[in-house]
Amino acid sequence: MAAARSAAPRTGRNMEALLIVVAIGLAIGAYAMVGLAVNDALPPGMLGYGAGLGALALVLHLVVRKFAPYADPTLLPLAMLLNGLGLVMIHRVDLALGKGFLGSAAFKQLLWTTLAVVAATVIIVWLRDHRQLSRYTYSAMAGGLVLLLLPLVPFLGRTVNGARIWIFIGPFSFQPSEIAKILLTIFFAGYLVTARDSLSLAGRKVLWMQLPRAKDLGPLLTAWGVTLAVLVFERDLGTSLLFFGLFIGLLYIATERVSWVVLGMGLFLGGAFVATQLFSHVQGRVNYWLHPFREDMIDSSTQIVQGIFGMASGGLIGTGLGEGSPYGTTLSYSQSDMIFAALGEELGLAGLFAILLAFALIVERGLRTGIAARDGFGKLFATGLALSMALQVFVVVGGITRVIPLTGLTLPFMAAGGSSLLANWMIIAILLRISDSSRRPPTASEGPLFDLPFDELPDELKNDPEFQEDRRRLGGQENEPNSQGIPVGHSRASEDQHYRSADTEHGWDDQPGLDEPEWDNRPRTGGHQLGQNTRRRPDAPDYDQESAVNR
């Protein structure tokens, strides 16, 4: 067993570059296959499309290489792959709908991808330390709540397909809940890192669970109320599930108390049940989730049914890109909400599983980043970001595959939708930043890491004259072990004359020779010189001392 050496740090940047090349190659290949299948010729825009995507990837890779060299090497290729495949699918539907290039959804998506990559670059360059964000815990909460509830403002928000989650400013539309996702994750992480002790330690034990105190329930109930408001007034089950799930998940991770999860799930299910009884639109969603094929439901459940038929016709390996019919009347919203079903039709179960695995890997890397993060805020923040992506994929894919009622969330990176793309690239950028700081080998010059500042030390210690003496003597210089990791044998033989057994004597500090010990290299022999090098702290905590000095 040896002190683990910090071996030559491996950054993984070259592996990242290689994976990105393969990911971009796959996207270009997919683009070519669409062209071959639809027009029987290589698409003319292939080189331009490949060059555009490649340039974006190159910029991001170089920025990461320069500013976050130790960041996780797999996040970027995975996100690039999903984004590229999403673009191809959107383009494929554009072709089928006969849209011109400039008016097409794919072109818009490519513009948004560019914007999102710029945003990610800005985050990687400007956010040098993710802990800066913890200062804005409560501003983030306010901002997040405002964004979340913004679509409810008259004239600004508009109801689209039954859900009021969009805002329209002139010709531009935006889904503010996507950005709210990041802001509220900052708030949850910042809040829970300070509150977790009171949330996890206090409370009575009932059965096997430790129940929280009533007064600690405030934040949970607030989150629940906002969530229900979103569910009822914005008519969006997906967003409310996403935020409440995120909060409960982080609460559980911060406190390790199952009782929070049980309470939260109970509250959510209860609230959702009551909402189902009271509000017809929620009831409708549940009904056509449970009985999509019933004759009287088919008007509203068309989307789900189309998706199921599409995926069924895709089968195990799909119809092939460009050879299915995931568009128009066969599958509506196949560029946005239903893109997963469209991909399922053309890439089959094998393709869908690869895509789901790519999402799972992104989430795993996020959780891993959380585990490796060196500060509590970073841990919760990274975990929360990963959790939000996992929940979003679950809500979307679960809706399409009839695990939960269908709602209008977007599949991260793939579905057409600028706000979602922007938000998810920002999440990737933040995860890259956090993973860089957690994987970066500590530099020797940093000195003792994470020591408490003097002001935060316990008073007992601050008033200890010996401690003050030590501080003065050490003066911040680091005590570096020598290269073999084996200390030079030095003993304080000269002090033996002053010191007897340490636990029988007090007040060494006035003894001569203490602060300027005479070092010699005489090796010790045997294990029977216990105690002569130790000094007694006058106020040392009470210890079982049978063994401390026992000669």
Of 36-44, 134-142, 157-165, 421-429, the segment contacting another protein by CB under 8 A is: 36-44
As to burial, measured by CB atoms within 10 angstroms (0-12 exposed, 13-18 middle, 19+ buried), residue 40 is exposed
CB 55 → another protein: shortest distance, Å?
Answer: 20
| Beta carbons of 441 and 200 less than 8 angstroms apart | no
- Supply the minimum distance, in Å, between the C-beta of residue 71 and another protein: 12
Residue 455 in the binding site for another protein (CB under 8 A): no
* Closest separation in Å from C-beta 482 to another protein: 11
With CA atoms as reference, report the closest residue to 384 among 434, 441, 340. Answer: 434
Angle of helix 177-201 relative to helix 218-233, nearest 10 degrees, comes to 150
Residues 244-273 that bind another protein (CB under 8 A): none
Q: Does 358 contact another protein by CB under 8 A?
A: yes
Q: Which 165-194 residues touch another protein, going by CB under 8 A?
A: none
Among 262, 286, 461, 493, binds another protein (CB under 8 A): 461
What are the Cα distances from residue 315, in Å, to 167, 179, 333? Answer: 38, 36, 21
Is there binding between residue 479 and another protein (CB under 8 A)?
Answer: yes
When asked if residue 502 is in the footprint of another protein (CB under 8 A), the reply is yes
Q: Which of residues 51-90 bind another protein (CB under 8 A)?
A: 73-74, 77-78, 81
Does 208 interact with another protein (rule: CB under 8 A)? no
Pick the closer one to another protein by CB: 115 or 461.
Answer: 461
Q: Which residues contact 222 (CB under 8 A, 6 or more apart)?
A: none
- The reply on whether position 498 binds another protein by CB under 8 A is no
474 binds another protein (CB under 8 A): yes
Query: Is 11 or 303 the residue whose CB approaches another protein more closely?
Result: 11
Asked if 471 touches another protein (CB under 8 A), the answer is: yes
Q: Is 470 in the site for another protein (CB under 8 A)?
A: yes
Residue partners of 364: CB distance under 8 A and separation at least 6: 386
What does 1-23 look like in DSSP terms, one character per residue? Answer: --PPP--S----HHHHHHHHHHH
Total Cβ atoms within 10 A of residue 71: 29
Which range of residues in 93-101, 238-246, 413-421, 482-490 is near another protein by CB under 8 A? 482-490
- When the beta carbons of 64 and 304 are compared against another protein, the nearer one is 64
d(C-alpha 486, C-alpha 422), whole Å:
52
Considering the complex, state which of residue 235 and residue 379 has its C-beta at the smaller distance from another protein.
379
Told to check if 481 binds another protein by CB under 8 A, we report: yes
| Per-residue x/- track, 310-349, another protein (CB under 8 A) | -------xx-xx-x-----------------------xx-
Beta-ladder partners of 158: 166
* Smallest distance, another protein to C-beta of residue 41, A: 8
* Residue 507 interacting with another protein (CB under 8 A): no
Q: Could you give the C-alpha distances from 61 to 2, 213, 390, in angstroms and in order?
A: 36, 48, 24
Q: Does 370 bind another protein (CB under 8 A)?
A: no
Nearer Cβ to another protein (125/493): 493
User: How far apart, in whole angstroms, are the C-alpha atoms of residue 408 and residue 163?
Assistant: 7
Site for another protein in 90-119 (CB under 8 A): none
Give 281-303 as a 3 state SS string: HHHHHHHHHHCCCCHHHHHHHHH
Asked if residue 201 binds another protein (CB under 8 A), the reply is no
Interatomic CA distance for residues 16 and 272, integer angstroms: 43
Q: Three-state SS for 165?
A: strand
Using CB under 8 A as the criterion, what x/- string covers residues 409-448 for binding another protein?
--------------------------------xx---xxx
C-alpha span between 514 and 523 (Å, rounded) = 20
Choose, by CB under 8 A, the member of 170, 171, 218, 526 that binds another protein. 526
Binding region for another protein (CB under 8 A) out of 29-37, 144-152, 336-344, 378-386? 29-37
Q: Which stretch binds another protein (CB under 8 A): 7-15, 160-168, 219-227, 247-255?
A: 7-15
Alpha carbon distance 272, 224 (integer Å): 11
Q: What does the H/E/C string look like for 31-96?
A: HHHHHHHHHCCCCCCHHHHHHHHHHHHHHHHHHHHHHCCCCCCCHHHHHHHHHHHHHHHHHHHHHH
CB closer to another protein out of 299 and 516:
516
Q: Does the footprint of another protein cover residue 350 (CB under 8 A)? A: yes
> Which is nearer to another protein, 302 or 491 (by Cβ)?
491
173 membership: H or E segment, kind and range: strand 172-174
Q: Quick one: which of 65, 402, 490, 498 contacts another protein (CB under 8 A)? A: 490
